[in-house]
Structure 1
C-alpha cells in the first residue's frame, strides 16, 4: 500500500479523535500509516508488531477502536491463527480491518464470515484507506460490491436450502458436538473447551475428531467456517 496523498486534513471524517491500532510486520510501514491517518483523519494512532501486544480496552464513550491488521501474504486463505485472533478481537469490542491483502475472493469472503469489517488491497490508493476507515466507523463494510453480492447470494442460497431440506450432516451431530463446534468457531482452544464443559482434553479431542469426520473438514479453520454457515 502506497502512503502518499496531496491535500489537507479530512475535516468531515467521522473518525477524528478516535483510536486506530495498527498491527504491521514492518514497523516502518506501521509508522507511515500512523502518521498519514493522524494527519488526514485526526485519528489517534498507535503501532504494534503483533495482535498479542495490544492492550485490553475496547469501547470507550461509545467509540470502538479500529484495528488495522496487515495480512499474511504467505497464506491466501485465512489461517487458523488469524481466524482465532479475529474472534478474540471482536470479543474485546474492536472493529477489525485487514490491509495489504492479496486479490482473492475466497480470502475476502472468509474474512467477512469471521467478522472483518474492511479489506484494503496491496495496490489500493491512500484515498481509499481514508474513505474505508471512515466508512467502517459509520457501521458500513469496506469491501467490493462484487464480494458483498456473492456473499449475500451464497448465504441466501444456503438459507433457502436449509428451509426446504434438513441438512443430514447437521442432524448427525450430537448436541454436545454442536456445542464444541460453536466453541471452535469462537476461537476456543481444546483446554478452554474442556474447562467450559468440565470434560478432559482427551474427550474434547475425541469429539473434534468425530466432528471433523461428520462434516468432512480437515482443520479447525474449515470447521469454524462450516459452523458459521450451518449452525
Structure 2
C-alpha cells in the first residue's frame, strides 16, 4: 500500500541551514520531493490581493511541522489555513520534547507521525519511510490515548460495513483501532507483515479509506466499544 510516487513532503519552517540540511537528507534517503515553506510566505499568499485560496496543497502531501520552533501564533494561523481545506491533511510533528503532554499533541487532529528531540536522523528516515508506505509512526501509548480521547467524545455503534468484514479483517481493523503497527498486528496474529498488508489493502477498499489515518478514524466511528474491548 505504498503511496503514489508524486507524494510531496512540505516542511513548514523558516529557510535556514538546518531546514535545508533536513530537506536534503529526506530527499536523498526517501527519493521524494521536499518543499521548505515558511509561515511568512503562507501569510503573504493568504493576504495577497485577489487570492482565491490560501494554500494550494496537494491531496497526498505530508505536512511536517517543527514543534520546537513553532510559535503559538503560527500554530493558530496553521489551524485557520486547515479550516479552508475541505479534506484532512497528513501531519507529522518533529522535535517534540519527550515529556510533551497529550493535550498539546491532541490539537493536531490529523497526526500520522510524532518524532522527539532525542530521535536521530536515522530514526526520522525510518519513520517517514513507514508513513510514506501508508503506516503511522506513533508510540502505542500515544496512539491509544489519541483514540480513547476521540472515542470518549463520540457515541459510536457498530456499523453494518464492519459486520460484513471477514473474521480476520475484523481482528486486524480492531488492532489498528488500538493503534497497532503492521509489525505488532503480525506478531499478535502470528502471520507475516505481508499478510497483514494484503488484508489491510482489502479492508481499505471495503471501507473506502485511502490511508491508515482514514482507516483508524473509520474504526473509531464504526466499531462500538463492545467490539474493540
Q: Quote the residue 2:58 is aligned against.
A: 58
- Segments of 5+ residues of structure 1 without an aligned counterpart are 1-12, 164-231
Distance 1:154 1:22, change over 3 A: closer
Q: What TM-score do the two structures reach when normalised by structure 2?
A: 0.50
Please state how far the C-alpha of 1:43 moved relative to its aligned partner.
1.0
TM-score in terms of structure 1 length: 0.50
Partner of 1:25: 14
CA 1:106–1:74 in structure 2 vs 1: closer, same or farther (change >3 Å)? Answer: same
Q: Any conservation in 1 of the 2:15–2:37 contact (CA below 8 Å)?
A: no
Matched, 1:151 2:140: no
| 2:63 corresponds to | 67
CA RMSD of aligned residues (A): 3.5
Instruction: Give the aligned partner of residue 76 of structure 2.
Output: 80
Find the aligned partners of 2:83 and 2:16 in 1 and give their Cα distance.
Answer: 24
CA-to-aligned-CA distance 1:118-153 (integer Å, 9 cap, x gap): 222222121221122222233332221111112223
Q: How many residues are treated as equivalent by the alignment?
A: 143
Q: Are 2:99 and 1:110 equivalent residues in the alignment?
A: no
User: Which aligned pairs between 1:134-213 and structure 2 lie closer than 5 A?
Assistant: 134-159=129-154
Asked if the contact 2:12–2:65 (Cα under 8 Å) also holds between the matched residues in 1, the reply is yes
Gaps of 5+ in 2: 46-53, 158-229
* Cα deviation, residue 40, structure 1: 1.0
Cα separation, partners in 2 of 1:143 and 1:55, compared to 1, 3 Å: same
Structure 1 residue 19: deviation in Å? 1.8
